[in-house]
């Protein structure tokens, strides 16, 4: 039995983030959409706070782009392999402080899990290796 396609496809979601189309992104989310960034230990419990957390990435990496390498989709969600690319041009808030801009590039493979009710985003979980990011920014030895 073939799977029904995801109502909110991953390419559209990645595209709205790459364009910084925050109203378009919010329109695709339930108001109480949950976001968790496991690399930094950041959580959000509503669409407006989720956007605020995503904007941190753009503020820290002004040329941030997300490449959708591949995805496995079904009606209520998708598992996506993404590549985050950007230059560290702004302060990066981390759990124990802030990393000042280093002007260094980063290329981080990540997994993004998207949960949906079939129409709108309910959850986004982002997994990546924070040590790899810190190494690329030359802030760990």
pLDDT tens by residue, 96-134: 889 999 999 999 999 999 999 888 999 999 999 999 999
Per-residue pLDDT, averaged over 20-37, amounts to: 93
Q: Output the DSSP codes for 21-63.
A: -HHHHHHTEEEEEEEEETTTTEEESSHHHHHHHHHHHHHHSTT
Q: What pLDDT score does 94 carry?
A: 86
- Tell whether the model's pLDDT for residue 3 goes beyond 70: no
Nearest to 42 by CA among 27, 25, 55: 55
d(C-alpha 112, C-alpha 33), whole Å: 15
Inter-residue contact 73 to 5 (CB < 8 Å) = yes
pTM of the model: 0.89
Nearest to 76 by CA among 17, 20, 122, 128: 122
Q: What angle do CA 40, 129, 100 make, to 5 degrees?
A: 55
Render pLDDT for 67-85 as a digit per residue (tens, 0 to 9): 999 999 888 899 999 999 9
- Tell whether the model's pLDDT for residue 53 goes beyond 80: yes
SS3 label, residue 18? helix
């Amino acid at each position: 039995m073939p799977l029904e396609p995801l109502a909110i496809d991953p390419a559209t979601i990645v595209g709205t983030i790459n364009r910084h189309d925050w109203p378009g992104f919010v329109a695709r989310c339930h108001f109480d959409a949950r976001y968790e960034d496991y690399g930094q230990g950041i959580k959000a419990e509503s669409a407006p706070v989720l956007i605020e957390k995503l904007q941190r990435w753009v503020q820290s990496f002004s040329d941030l782009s997300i490449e959708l390498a591949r995805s496995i989709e079904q009606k209520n969600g998708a598992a996506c392999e993404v590549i985050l690319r950007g230059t560290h041009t702004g302060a990066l808030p981390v759990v124990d402080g802030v990393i000042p801009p280093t002007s260094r590039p980063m290329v981080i493979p990540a997994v993004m899990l998207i949960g949906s009710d079939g129409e709108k985003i309910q959850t986004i979980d982002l997994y990546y290796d924070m040590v790899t990011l810190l190494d690329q920014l030359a802030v760990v030895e």
